[in-house]
Structure 1
């Protein structure tokens, strides 16, 4: 499934479409930024490519399951 990109390059998680947990990310020249789409002016968290890849690998492996 392809997630639509916003005009400013943000992608919203399809898992947060109908909840209060709205997470978006976008690529940057140095890596990835993540933000809360309901509070976009509250700031972002930036990750390098290697940090983001490590996080995604851990998430896919179930390391962050609650």
Structure 2
């Protein structure tokens, strides 16, 4: 029974992903953090139907990641909780990301 539920969940998630990537977002309005300049590298997001979100880098606008509402909510909450904070390391001079 658990295997059947896992398979159903996987199939549902695949359908959601396929539907999300099938959306035409050519007219999407992209947003970035306030205070960033056009020439600066920045993360841009666009709000899609049903709470979904698209995300891209300003330096590579043709590569777009798309997230369902649940995935985006989980990411934002995790970021707020510090789950994605960078640890100091030798490559960044030992400074934590700000």
Measured against the shorter chain, the TM-score band is 0.7 to 0.9
TM-score (norm 1): 0.72
Compare CA radii of gyration and give the structure with the larger one. 2
TM-score using structure 2 length: 0.51
Higher relative contact order (CA 8 A, sep 6+): 1
Instruction: Report the RMSD for the aligned CA atoms in angstroms.
Output: 2.2
**Gaps spanning 5+ residues in structure 2: where?**
1-26, 87-98
More strand by share: 1
- Structure 1 residue ranges without an equivalent (≥5): 1-6
Instruction: Give the CA deviation at 1:14.
Output: 3.5
Between Structure 1 and Structure 2, how many residues are aligned? 58
The structure 1 segments of at least 4 consecutive aligned residues displaced by more than 3 Å after TM superposition are 18-21
Q: Which residue number corresponds to residue 50 of structure 1? A: 70
